[in-house]
Amino acid sequence: MSATVEKALQIVETLSSSQVPIGVSELGRKLGMNKSTVFRLLDTLCRRGYTRKDPATSGYVLTTKLWELGVGILQKLTLRDVARPVMEAVTRATGETTMVGVMQDGDALILEKVDSPAALQIASPLGTRVALHCSSIGRAMLAFQTDEFVDKTLSSLQPRTEFTISSREALATELDRIRHLRVAECIDEWAVGVSGISAPVRDQSGSVVGSFCITGPTSRFTPNRLPALRLQTIAAAQEISAGMGFLPAAQTRAKT
């Protein structure tokens, strides 16, 4: 580990265990660091929002930023825990791969996956990132982002295949359809021969925090089978959302 990073973490851990603000000199004594090093690291931590200077004592305390980061991690872990049994059940019922994705840095990140038992299946390891505009797992989340975020995404559409929707107007229309039907689908748009159907997952506040996806070879996503897969996708996303604390009736009452 970098010596600088290790010293910064020592400061964070010391501040975390203290009940009162700690000054530069006292931190230096506790940690065996010179004052200039402590001050420099505290200045960086303050600028990044992890610590602040207490005006009454001139000592330093932690902010809530670490807690906020921890909450974000817990939310993602909770989504995996809630989604896993639903995914396993859907994979057993359909014979297809199921995935749960979340938004990260402008992409859809595959957070959890249950592989199809079939010999022919989709290879998308955990942690794979896919574009929002040309994957069903991404579109199911993109459709429910802010207008500003959607406009930014629509401004730079890179086609993955000849079937990718790369027109701003066409994708805007598709996102409207997803908002209305609560289900997204991409046939051969991310990769030729790969298809997916996804639906948004909501948390207790009603915010879209992820999406549930059934994916597989396009040869198995036949027109006759698509209606059933759509219903199974929506039902699974609703079950996961309920596990995350989403109550549609409560949200409806709150809006009236």
Which structural domains are found in the chain, ordered by start? 3-63 (1.10.10.10), 73-255 (3.30.450.40)
Q: How far apart are CA 241 and CA 20, in angstroms?
A: 41
pLDDT (average), residues 116-123 = 84
Has residue 74 got a pLDDT over 80? no
pTM for this one? 0.69
pLDDT in tens, 225-241: 999 999 999 999 999 99
Q: How far apart are CA 154 and CA 247, in angstroms?
A: 31
pLDDT in tens, 178-237: 999 999 999 999 999 999 999 999 998 899 999 999 999 999 999 999 999 999 999 999
On whether the CB atoms of residues 171 and 181 are closer than 8 A, the answer is no
Residue 191, sorted as left (phi over 0), alpha (psi -120 to 50) or beta, turns out to be beta
Radius of gyration of the chain (CA): 23
pLDDT reported for residue 123: 75
73: three-class secondary structure by DSSP: helix
Name the DSSP letter for residue 167: -
Q: How far apart are CA 48 and CA 226, in angstroms?
A: 48
On whether the CB atoms of residues 230 and 192 are closer than 8 A, the answer is no
78: three-class secondary structure by DSSP: helix
Give the count of beta carbons closer than 10 Å to the beta carbon of residue 142.
27
